[in-house]
């Protein structure tokens, strides 16, 4: 028995409840010959109303486990700094608590790094994100001053470890995260080449969302924007089924179902083109990342007719509603299932319609 896709109208906001109820009936009553997949078309969009984007600054030397465009969940590892091992054997001559302060210029083209002894301390009010001006004292004892106008982008507690090599060469200096420091390393203790003085530092995501990574010299900034699922067709659930009187009754009598989308009382199956769209939307898309910036010239105007040449909406035609050159995107008004719907597309997915 060949199953076709049908559209079930529900009360808005109860689509997931209806989907679960239909699937439960199918499973409990063993109706797999009559009812197949149940689907709610959705798209992922950045939630601009959920507050500021989370930002994590990570040294460029770190190993990254995420790429721009990927979805991540709260507490997922996004990057890690390697363990720190001494280069040369020798004697530890200094272990000191320090504060590492990185100040970045307003144009983000320059930065200065300062190491301030914890015993000295930094001036009050100097915290992550604070704006500083050239000549402003940084250390409480006025021994260190800011050399550029900018803001604080890193304010970390670290350990300074100094090792005097056995061969009498210049001392080796190490600055490691305080929380990763190997506490067995002490002053006057002998240490061998390759000994570990700090564990890995793991960076995890403070929230779930979509990742964007920007590179700024010695560090990378990871932005995490909250993502929500937005229903493409609120109030509708798509059911793959073999339509007969029994299956019609089972679906129609599901709680919160209003009716099938029908013509003269008869449920209307989707056309082949619409079935292809549903199948495409059901395939999980995985982001891809390229190492080169691809430049695209946008030669489209608002109100112009275009044809979609790739992606899940391939074959559809519509009218350009909005052009966003900075995002290489266009919004096209497309008629889907009899309703005019705005669809955001990459410019590479559309072409001018032939008159």
Domain-terminating residue out of 283, 299, 314: 283
- Is 46 domain-assigned? no
- Is 301 domain-assigned? yes
CATH (domain of 278) = 3.30.70.940
Same domain as 314, residue 254: no
- Is 49 domain-assigned? no
pLDDT at 49 over 60: no
Same domain as 99, residue 2: no
Same domain as 212, residue 68: yes
Give the domain extent around 344.
284-355
CATH (domain of 314) = 2.30.30.30
Which pLDDT belongs to residue 290? 36
pLDDT at 233 over 60: yes
- Is 28 domain-assigned? yes
Same domain as 182, residue 135: yes
Measured CA to CA, the distance from residue 40 to residue 54 in angstroms comes to 29
- Judged on CB neighbours under 10 Å (0-12, 13-18, 19+), 158 is buried
Same domain as 351, residue 218: no
Same domain as 196, residue 69: yes
Torsion angle defined by CA atoms of residues 20, 22, 25 and 31, in that order, rounded to the nearest 10 degrees = -130
Same domain as 170, residue 200: yes
Scanning the chain, the segments in alpha helix (DSSP H) are 15-28, 245-252, 272-282
Measured CA to CA, the distance from residue 110 to residue 102 in angstroms comes to 10
**Which of 68-72, 172-176, 205-209 bottoms out in mean pLDDT, i.e. has the lowest?**
68-72
Domain-terminating residue out of 180, 206, 225: 225
Same domain as 136, residue 103: yes
- Is 266 domain-assigned? yes
Measured CA to CA, the distance from residue 314 to residue 276 in angstroms comes to 9
Cβ pair 153, 101 in contact under 8 A: no
Same domain as 140, residue 28: no
Same domain as 343, residue 307: yes
Average pLDDT over residues 30-58: 79
Which pLDDT belongs to residue 200? 95
- Residues with Cβ < 8 Å from 172, sequence gap 6 or more? 86, 87, 88, 90, 162, 163, 165
Q: What percent of the chain has pLDDT over 90?
A: 54
Cβ pair 26, 35 in contact under 8 A: yes
Same domain as 194, residue 104: yes
Cβ pair 347, 296 in contact under 8 A: yes
Q: What is the pLDDT of residues 78-113, one digit of tens each?
A: 999 999 999 999 999 999 999 999 998 877 778 899
Which pLDDT belongs to residue 32? 93
Same domain as 212, residue 236: no
Stronger pLDDT, 223 or 139, i.e. the higher one:
139
- Is 352 domain-assigned? yes
Measured CA to CA, the distance from residue 173 to residue 170 in angstroms comes to 9
State the DSSP code for 139. B
- Is 112 domain-assigned? yes
Token code pair at residue 234 = 């609120």
pLDDT at 332 over 80: yes
**pTM confidence score:** 0.57
Domain-terminating residue out of 195, 225, 255: 225
Report the domain count for the chain: 3
């Amino acid at each position: 028995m060949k199953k076709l896709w049908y559209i079930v109208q529900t009360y808005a906001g109860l689509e997931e409840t209806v989907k679960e109820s239909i699937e439960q009936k199918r499973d409990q009553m063993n109706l797999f010959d009559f009812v197949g997949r149940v689907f709610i078309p959705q798209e992922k969009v950045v939630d601009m109303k959920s507050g500021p984007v989370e930002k994590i600054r990570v040294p460029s030397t770190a190993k990254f486990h995420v790429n721009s465009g990927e979805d991540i969940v709260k507490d997922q590892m996004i990057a890690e700094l390697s363990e720190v091992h001494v280069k040369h054997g020798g004697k530890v001559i200094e272990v000191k608590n320090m504060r590492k302060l990185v100040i970045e210029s307003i144009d983000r083209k320059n930065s200065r790094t300062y190491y301030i002894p914890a015993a000295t301390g930094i001036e009050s009010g100097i915290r992550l994100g604070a704006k500083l001006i050239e000549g402003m004292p940084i250390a409480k004892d006025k021994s260190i001053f800011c050399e550029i106008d900018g803001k604080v982008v890193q304010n970390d507690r670290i350990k300074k470890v100094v090792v005097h090599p056995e061969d009498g060469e210049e001392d080796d200096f190490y600055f490691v995260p305080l929380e990763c420091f190997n506490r067995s390393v002490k002053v006057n203790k002998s240490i061998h080449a390759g000994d570990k003085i700090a564990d890995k530092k793991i960076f995890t995501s403070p929230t779930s969302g979509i990742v964007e990574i920007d590179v700024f010299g010695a560090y990378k900034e990871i932005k995490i924007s909250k993502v929500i699922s937005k229903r493409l067709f609120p109030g509708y659930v798509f059911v793959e089924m073999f339509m007969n009187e029994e299956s019609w009754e089972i679906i129609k009598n599901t709680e919160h179902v209003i009716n099938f989308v029908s013509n003269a009382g008869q449920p209307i199956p989707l056309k082949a083109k619409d079935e292809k769209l549903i199948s495409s939307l059901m395939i999980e898309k995985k982001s891809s990342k390229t190492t080169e910036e691809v430049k695209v010239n946008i030669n489209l105007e608002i109100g112009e007719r275009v044809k979609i040449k790739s992606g899940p909406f391939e074959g559809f035609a519509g009218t350009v509603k909005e052009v966003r050159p900075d995002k290489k995107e266009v919004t096209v008004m497309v008629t889907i299932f009899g309703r005019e719907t705005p669809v955001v597309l990459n410019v590479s997915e559309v072409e001018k319609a032939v008159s």
